[in-house]
Amino acid sequence: MRTSRWLAGAWLACAIAGAQAADPAAVARGKYLFEAGDCIGCHAGNGTSAAPSGGLGLDTPFGKFRAPNITPDKQYGIGLWSEPEFRRALREGVGKHGEYLFPVFPYTSFTRMTDGDAADIYAYLMSLPPVAAPNKPHEAKAPFGWRSLLLGWRTLFFNEGVKTPDATRSAEWNRGDYLVHAVGHCEECHTPRNALGATKSSMAFSGNVGGPDGQNAPNITSDVATGIGDWSIADIQTLLKTGMTPDSDLVGSGMKAVVRGTSKLTDADRRAMAVYLKSVPPIRVEAKPKSAAKSPPP
């Protein structure tokens, strides 16, 4: 009798867990966030595949780092990862086996994401068809491929923690702040980096000449001369929806991939991002990157 009760209880627990994993609402929310963060841009070869099966090589001063397979394939993907393990990678930059992840994966921004949003992204990824695509090895230059050195880097530059709302600001501004930082990780491209590859927080959003893959990310602070200070909130919303600048130019390069994601946001979320970006303090830079006209925010 006890055995049968135990089996019944175990079956019920598994059924509940399965129902939670397959929650359509969680999957839909996760898909929305996945697209907002343009995760497919890196994990599917710059959007060239419908599945995040990895492969894109990102050129950096420290070598080429390749995005992994994050489909639920049990051999090559994250099919054997639990939700807490996925959340730990996203928020702490630690892999399934306890290894430090290279910060080319923007966990320095994703650390600000809430547990609920991380769980929803996990639910979405686990709903996808598994793809048996082996991961390609990184091509890091010595000694930058030594994961043991990441402990020092993390001590110096990684501040773990969920994004806390600013009580002095509106709900709309806080939503935009969260989307720009924790989900869209806009700062990762639009901020210059130091010699060790960490973003310079004092120069946040002021542009990055020769950023990832050698692409120039423009100044998107509210500086009028070298940033987007003369853009309206509607201008920023339009760019996030269509990729068109106030000069009727279309963004290209990496920003084109970003717009694929932001175009799927709600009007309210695009406006929230615009409201936040308009509040970023102005930073005057020496000159706009040469390709600034082709790749504005965020």
How far, in Å, CA of 239 to CA of 274, rounded? 10
Domain co-membership, 36 together with 122: yes
Contact between 176 and 272 (Cβ < 8 Å): yes
User: pLDDT under 50 in the chain at which residues?
Assistant: 1-20, 289-298
Question: Does residue 65 share a domain with residue 91?
Answer: yes
**Residue position matching structure tokens 């040469």:** 290
Element (H, E) at 280: none
Range of the structural domain that residue 199 is part of: 171-294
Asked whether residue 116 falls in the same domain as residue 180, the answer is no
Query: 157, 179, 207 — which closes off a domain?
Result: 157
pTM for this prediction: 0.87
- Residue 29 parent element (H or E): helix 24-36
Phi, psi of 264 (to 5 degrees): -95, 0
Query: Would you give the distance in Å from CA 237 to the centre of its chain?
Result: 19
Question: What's the CATH code of the domain at 233?
Answer: 1.10.760
How far apart are the C-alpha atoms of 273 and 240, rounded to whole Å?
9
Which letter does DSSP use for residue 292 in this model?
G
- Alpha-carbon distance 12 to 21, whole Å? 14
Q: What is the pLDDT of residues 270-298, one digit of tens each?
A: 999 999 999 999 999 976 544 444 444 44
In the chain the beta strands, taken as DSSP E runs, fall at: 57-60, 63-66, 139-140
Same domain (yes/no): 199, 274 = yes
- Residues 25 and 148 grouped into a single domain: yes
Q: Are residues 95 and 220 in the same domain?
A: no
Tell me which of 157, 182, 208 is where a domain ends.
Answer: 157
Category of 197 on φ-ψ map: left (φ > 0), alpha (ψ -120 to 50) or beta:
left
Collapsing DSSP states into helix, strand and coil, what is residue 199?
strand
Nearest-angstrom CA–CA distance, 7 and 198: 52
Residues 124 and 153 in one domain: yes
- 217 and 146 in a single domain? The answer is no
pLDDT for position 50: 78
Determine whether 234 is exposed, middle or buried from the number of CB atoms within 10 Å of its CB (0-12, 13-18, 19+): exposed
Same domain (yes/no): 190, 275: yes
**Domain match, 143 and 102 both:** yes
164 near 89, Cβ under 8 Å?
no
Across the beta sheet with 139-140, the strand order is 57-60, 63-66, 139-140
What is the structure's pLDDT at 213? 60
